[in-house]
Amino acid sequence: MANETHFFSTTPSTREEILEATFYALCEHGYADLTISKIGDHFNKSQSLIYHHYEDKDDLLLDLLEYMLEEFESQVPVSTQSPKAYIYEIVDQIFGDAEGSNAQFSKAVLELRAQTAHNEKYRELFRRSDEFVQKQIALVIREGNEQGVFDVEKPKQAAALFQTVIVGVQGQQTINENNIIGSSKIEFRRYIDQCLISSNE
Amino acid sequence: MANETHFFSTTPSTREEILEATFYALCEHGYADLTISKIGDHFNKSQSLIYHHYEDKDDLLLDLLEYMLEEFESQVPVSTQSPKAYIYEIVDQIFGDAEGSNAQFSKAVLELRAQTAHNEKYRELFRRSDEFVQKQIALVIREGNEQGVFDVEKPKQAAALFQTVIVGVQGQQTINENNIIGSSKIEFRRYIDQCLISSNE
């Protein structure tokens, strides 16, 4: 199977091979129609290995979610760039490209986020991840404040809007007609330039 | 059954009674576990009536989605207020209250939006609705421009960010720990004040 997304290892462990198969099966069939057998169709080894590692569908999906969120968290760029270049890089990552691997990732995340309405375990993982991302972005903004590049009274509050926009983009990537995402990105850059960047810059 | 949300009629037709039962069953069980029988548990009349009106679960859910989106579209306030008060009212509606009927609505919408990844019919309905809302908000901003209250070069672009934020809030309402939504709202108001409102105001 082609490694179409960039977040699976090129030398995967069995666990990672199972998770990769689950990811593609989830993208193809959706949460409701997903079965271990359909995951097996994307898995090169014996299907019994999946049952050996996981109790049921949700057990497997929760491990996939944890893996994806860790990858997502690690993508918050750790950079030696200036906070301004850094925040623009975050924006590029948030909005991604509608056709590429970001869209695949968003599709899977959207499916799993919908489970938060009914399952506390999904809710707990997303809550942890959302808070992590918010903290990371607040950190960048604070750093920019200290360097005089940004002038933001409440960095955590600004980071909350970033977090809402991240979720919004993920929810729109399956229906990106009329390029709402592209226009949103330009407008969000305008917000950054007018509401975050210091007027001395 | 108590009419907990404000978008179902108090003198419902049979169709509306079925849709209301479907809404509450969807909120309770989620898309994947939803069955006509579980919908029947929320319906005061004979379950056979549901089969009489709808072919299957998706046929029924698509009609519910259409009904909900029409209600959502009708909630875009048609107002004689000033564009500024009007846009603040839209913000109040977007962010709603995390515990109230908005959260129930968001939960159901999130479940159905996840189906857009796999089902063109859901995608088509959401696309239509997203574009409608974007157009309505662009209209308000244009009106504000004409009255000199707003100073926005690209109203449709600003409306796209509103649309992304709407989807983001819906996706966060099931896991609103740490009040990310509340902070987002204040920051989004800051964006409106600094990026939309004319500096002469």
Domain boundaries defined on chain A: 10-54, 59-196
Closest-CA distance, B67 to chain A, in angstroms, reads: 19
The predicted model gives A27-38 an average pLDDT of: 90
Report residue A13: phi and psi, to 5°.
-75, 170
Stretch (H or E) spanning B176: none
Task: Please indicate if any CB of chain A lies within 8 Å of the CB of B121.
Answer: no
CATH architecture of B1-64: Orthogonal Bundle (1.10)
pLDDT of B110: 87
Using the Cβ of A110 and the Cβ atoms of chain B, whether some distance falls under 8 Å is answered with yes
Q: How far is the CA of B93 from the CAs of A10, B9, B22, B103, in angstroms?
A: 46, 20, 24, 11
Task: Determine the distance in angstroms separating the CA of A133 from the nearest CA of chain B, rounded to an integer.
Answer: 11
Q: Which residues share a beta bridge with B150?
A: B197
| Residue A3: pLDDT band with limits 50, 70, 90 | very low
- Put simply, whether A22 touches B (Cβ < 8 Å) is no
pLDDT tens digits, residue range A49-92?
999 999 999 999 999 999 988 887 776 666 667 899 989 988 98
What is the CATH number assigned to the segment(s) A10-54?
1.10.10.60
* pLDDT of B99 over the 70 cut: no
pLDDT single digits (tens) B160-200? 999 999 999 989 988 866 589 999 999 999 999 999 999 87
Confidence band, pLDDT 50/70/90 cuts, at residue A1: very low
In this predicted structure, what is the pLDDT of residue A108?
84
Q: How confident is the model at residue A197 (pLDDT cuts 50, 70, 90)?
A: very high
Considering the domain A59-196 in this protein, what is its CATH number? 1.10.357.10
Among A115, A170, A194, beta carbon nearest to B194: A194
- B46-89, pLDDT tens digit by residue? 999 999 999 999 999 999 999 988 887 776 666 667 899 989 98
pLDDT at A177: 60
B53's tokens: 């009106």
Q: How far apart are CA A198 and CA A153, in angstroms?
A: 11
Residues B183, A160: C-beta atoms closer than 8 Å = yes
Instruction: Inform me whether the pLDDT recorded for B2 exceeds 70.
Output: no
Burial group, residue A39, by CB count within 10 angstroms (0-12, 13-18, 19+): buried
ipTM of the complex as predicted: 0.88
Cβ within 8 Å, pair B183-A115 = no
Please tell me the predicted confidence (pLDDT) of residue A110.
87
Number of neighbours of residue A126 by Cβ within 10 angstroms: 23
Nearest alpha carbon to residue A24 among A46, A11, A48, A8: A8
Which class is B76-196 in CATH? Answer: mainly alpha
Which residue in chain B is spatially nearest to A161 when comparing CA positions?
A: B184
User: Is residue B1 within 8 Å of residue B24, measured between CB atoms?
Assistant: yes
Residue B110 sits at the chain A interface (C-beta within 8 Å) = yes
Q: Which helix (H) or strand (E) holds A173?
A: none
B101 near B5, Cβ under 8 Å?
A: yes
- Any chain B CB within 8 A of the CB of A127? yes
Distance separating alpha carbons of residues B99 and B95, to the nearest angstrom:
11
Contact A163 B180 (CB under 8 A): yes
Amino acid of residue B2: A
Instruction: Considering only the beta carbons, identify the residue of B134, B163, B175 that sits closest to A127.
Output: B175
- Confidence at residue A2, expressed as pLDDT on a 0 to 100 scale: 38
Chain A contacts in chain B segment 138-177 (CB below 8 A): 154, 156-158, 160-161, 163-172, 174-175, 177
pLDDT in tens, B133-149: 899 899 999 999 999 99
CA–CA gap between residue A132 and residue A137 (Å, rounded) = 9
- Closest residue in A to B122 (Cα–Cα): A175
